[in-house]
Amino acid sequence: MKTLNILLCLLCFSMLSHGQQRFLTKQGYTSFFSSSPMEDIKADNNQVLSIIDTSTGTIAISILMKSFQFEKSLMQEHFNENYVESDKYPKAVFKGQIANFEGLNNNEQEININGNITIHGVTKQIQTTAKIIRTDKNISLKGKFPIEVADFDIEIPSVVVNNIAKTIEVTFELDHKPYNK
């Protein structure tokens, strides 16, 4: 009987610790879109790293800036060399909190995410909403938010200032799976 009680306690403990795990994606998606009277600029990145700690609802995202793909190679070159200076600032990073994470269920819900985003060496606090679906085997997040280019000390040369919007729309889709060390 004593052995059975110990086995039941171990089983319950393993189930509890299973519920407090991390979910990870190494192939998340993000894009940004700039619309101006002169031209639209869009770039996609499918190499986004993101992790969610289900015990706290914290989320961390890391984006390699050189992984953004543009329609025109010259745009990509200018983006990396002149604007975000990818050699000097190789990553954009977000660290934040998913509000009311513990109360989420398997239905698609709209949630708030608060945190700090660092781009081009400048950190700003942001708040956004996203759609989330949480199951035991998956946590999916989809959303978008605006960022102001000037907030991140990204200088746009006067020659092309009318080609790039002052506000850029950032879109993300992150499909996390359980992460077991």
Joined tokens for residue 178: 């359980």
What pTM, to 2 d.p., does this model score? 0.85
pLDDT tens by residue, 60-75 = 999 999 999 999 999 9
14 φ/ψ sector (left φ>0, alpha ψ -120 to 50, else beta): alpha
Residue 13 lies in a domain: no
Number of domains in the chain: 1
- pLDDT in the model for residue 148: 95
Residue 11 lies in a domain: no
CATH number at residue 69: 2.40.128.110
Residue 2 lies in a domain: no
- pLDDT in the model for residue 35: 93
Within its chain, how far is the Cα of 5 from the centroid? Answer: 43
pLDDT above 90 for 142: yes
Residue 9 lies in a domain: no
